[in-house]
Amino acid sequence: MRHVHLVVSSAFTFTLALSAACPPSEQGATPDCAAYCATITANCQGGAAQYQDEATCVEFCTANNLTWGEGTTADAAGNTLGCRQYHAGAAANDDHCNHAGPTGGSACGTYCDVYCDAAMANCAEGNALYADHESCLAACALIPDIGATNAPDGDSVQCRLYHLGAAKADPATHCVHGGATGGNACGSWCDVYCDVMDQVCPTEYTGAADCDTACQGFGQDGAINDATGDTVQCRLYHAGAAAADNTHCAHAGEDSSADTCGADTTPTCASYCATITDNCTGGSAQYTDEAECLDFCNDDFLHWSELGTTEDADGHSLGCREYHAGAADNDAHCEHAGPTGAGVCGDLCEVYCHAMTTYCAASYTDYAACEAACAGFATTGNVNDATGDTVQCRIYHAGFAVNDASHCDHADEDSAAGTCL
């Protein structure tokens, strides 16, 4: 563990209030801020200084923002003012200075002792970070302790201690930054996620760069402690839980299952229509506008045979069409995403015969008869052609037959003259 010796500036208000005065030389006596600050200022100077000056130390100590206990001047360990006064008395610009400083230097309380005492005291009720002291200590064990004393940023326990001290006066703002995730202040979401994953689920990524690349693709709009949703916050929740139960690694990784932190691959008409309207415009447009697309999709005019998933690159489904709508940029994907599927999201005859056997059942004796007839139709038409002896024209009319059976006569093999013949 690396001990960091830095000066606390007068701007910080992490301070400690304790009562009664007693000289530091009286071991076992009641400690006080005046004696503590006079001693640490005299014995810890230059690079070993813990405060800018004695006045800053007194201000820091008196406010007790980090909720040190009182203890006695005989304490060589424990998160107390007494322990800090003991080490201040023993100091000579050495490690005792860090032990006597605000964080306790892992002697006057471990970093996690100091952290959890402050977290439980300063972030309660609606701002509570942990259910109890034990769960806090478990979470703290995963937080790096290599930061600078009173650092306001960076993925470290020192940064979180800075914010927990400030939380005594403003818990709504600072408690979230003092929590295990750092709240995107003590380290970015991805910094914290990758630090935790490296410790508890080291086989999920090949290294820090691999993890960071994956993390950049996660949503960052989740809530802290979300257990579901395709976000870094959900993955952080499961990464933390993996410290006690490594089955959570599967939920915390990039390829998390959809019922935990994986992307929802269920297609919807709303998402499909918004995407295809954005990505297929002008001559590539498949619908007049988004409203027409929604009407068409919600009524299932062409009897898309299945819902599918948004990862389907082929098949007569809404999922396949949403996949290609997402990939489209006024190119061939637009026709694949359109009503007919353009031979990718369903063969043209598959699209045609699914619609005909559903909405115009009397037109063919069965699905096979429809396919046999369709094999003779030209495929040179355009999407939404209302005339012309093509399968595209017949698909257009088969779609409208869901609400108007008169279109069956235009859509069948012997289409009425002037429509698809």
Residue/partner pairs of 155-160 with CB below 8 Å, 24 or more apart: 155/182, 155/186, 155/187, 155/191, 155/192, 155/195, 156/186, 156/187, 157/111, 157/112, 157/115, 158/4, 158/103, 158/111, 159/185, 159/186, 159/187, 160/115, 160/186
Q: In 10 A of CB 47, how many CB atoms?
A: 10
Give the C-alpha separation, 280 to 155, whole Å.
Answer: 43
Is 316 in a helix, a strand, or coil?
coil
Per the listing, tokens 């949503």 go with: 219
Burial 101-126 (b: 16+ CB within 10 A, else e): bbbbbbbbbbbbbbbbbbbbebbeee
Domain boundaries, the chain: 1-109, 116-252, 269-343, 361-411
pLDDT tens digits, residue range 344-403? Answer: 998 899 889 988 998 899 999 999 999 999 999 999 998 889 999 999 999 889 888 888
pLDDT tens digits, residue range 286-345? Answer: 999 999 999 888 877 666 767 888 888 998 889 999 999 999 999 999 999 998 888 899
For residue 37, what pLDDT is reported?
97
Structure tokens at 241: 């839980």
For residue 342, what pLDDT is reported?
87
Those residues of the chain that have pLDDT short of 50 are: 1-26
Per the listing, tokens 């709504």 go with: 172
For residue 303, what pLDDT is reported?
64
Are 152 and 189 a contacting pair, CB within 8 Å?
no
DSSP secondary-structure letter at 30? P
For residue 99, what pLDDT is reported?
95
Question: Does pTM surpass 0.75?
Answer: no
For residue 258, what pLDDT is reported?
60
Instruction: Estimate to the nearest angstrom the gap between the alpha carbon of 1 and the chain centroid.
Output: 30
For residue 16, what pLDDT is reported?
34
For residue 15, what pLDDT is reported?
35
Element (H, E) at 165: helix 157-166
